[in-house]
Amino acid sequence: MDYQKILNEIDSELDKGKFGGKVADYIPELADVKEDCFGIHLCSLEKGNFAIGQNEQRFSIQSISKVFALTMAYPMLGEKLWKRVGVEPSGNPFNSLVQLEYESGIPRNPLINAGALVICDILISKLQNPKQEFLEFVQKLSGNPGIGFNKKVAESEKETGYRNVALASLMKSFGNIENLVEDVLDFYFYMCSIEMSCKELSQTFLLYANHGKHFVTGERILNASQSKRLSAILLTCGFYDQAGEFTFKVGLPGKSGVGGGIVAVFPEHYSVAVWSPKLNKAGNSVLGMEVLERLTTKTGLSIF
């Protein structure tokens, strides 16, 4: 399989101007990103690295960081984790409040905002210095100590993130948040503000293509069962109310963020990240979805 040839073909065939979408501006600091930024990085377990465009430029990974938080929290609590958060797709937008009241403050899954807030609460309870230790965990997974938070993005979301305030407060009222709501939100906003490039994201996500083992050091981060379950959650919940459509079109587990990044995993083979900041109504990168659909169509390879 000549991945570079296929990525080149996708890049030249794609009439990028033709696709719509809008850069996320509900977090003021994200609105400044140039809308025509574009990068792809595919990292294969057997064949190395393949790239297009701005694959090494860092951007705000936003919700993609929820996957790393889950990866850190899952081995700490084991299966007890699923008493605090479910594993069903929500079929609702990522920041929706509606199910939480009916379902007694237990979020549908760890990748919607409510679920990620519960995961943040768990990490705060377990860690001495949550922000620092979480950042070091992501640096270890990526093999890159240069990865950091963007304080401006985190503080900008803190000033405007009223829906997350509502989600955390509602869950606190049901007893599903142990720590102070403001501490959980502070950690959550910093977690979402991490910046990584497509290259760093695809290399880090090789962990999930490799059944929970770090792709370079061989360190076991998740056991095989945890890795299977986490990938299943990526497939069923990674794209919120578009999880069905992403699976239908692309056929790979993955995760998006409102910074315009999407990462997808082809188990035992590769991980691929795309960055294009214009989003559709569900908050997923329009071009990102298009590129990945073309990739699995042209290669004829997906999990199905």
Select 63 or 226, whichever has its Cβ closest to ligand DON. Answer: 63
Q: Does 290 bind ligand DON (CB under 6 A)?
A: no
Return the exposure string of 104-116: e unless at least 16 CB atoms fall within 10 Å of the residue's CB, then b: ebbbbbbbbbbbb
Q: Does 256 bind ligand DON (CB under 6 A)?
A: yes
Per-residue contact string for residues 5-44; x = within reach of ligand DON by CB under 6 A: ----------------------------------------
Q: Is 194 left (phi over 0), alpha (psi -120 to 50) or beta?
A: beta
Nearest distance from C-beta of residue 37 to ligand DON, angstroms: 16
* Binding-site size, ligand DON (CB under 6 A): 13
Q: Which range binds ligand DON by CB under 6 A, 4-12, 76-84, 201-209, 251-259?
A: 251-259
Q: Does residue 225 sit in helix, strand or coil?
A: helix
Question: Given candidates 100, 206, 258, 265, which one binds ligand DON under the rule CB under 6 A?
Answer: 258
Q: Is 127 left (phi over 0), alpha (psi -120 to 50) or beta?
A: beta
Answer whether 261's CB lies under 8 Å from 59's CB.
yes
Per-residue contact string for residues 90-129; x = within reach of ligand DON by CB under 6 A: ----xx-----------------x----------------
Nearest distance from C-beta of residue 284 to ligand DON, angstroms: 6
Q: Which range binds ligand DON by CB under 6 A, 80-88, 230-238, 254-262, 286-294?
A: 254-262
3-state secondary structure labels for all residues of 82-97: HHCCCCCCCCCCCCCC
3-state secondary structure labels for all residues of 117-159: HHHHHHHHHHCCCHHHHHHHHHHHHHCCCCCECCHHHHHHHHH
Bridge partners, residue 22, by sequence: 279
Q: Under the rule (CB under 6 A), what is the footprint of ligand DON? A: 62-63, 94-95, 113, 157, 164, 192, 256-258, 283-284
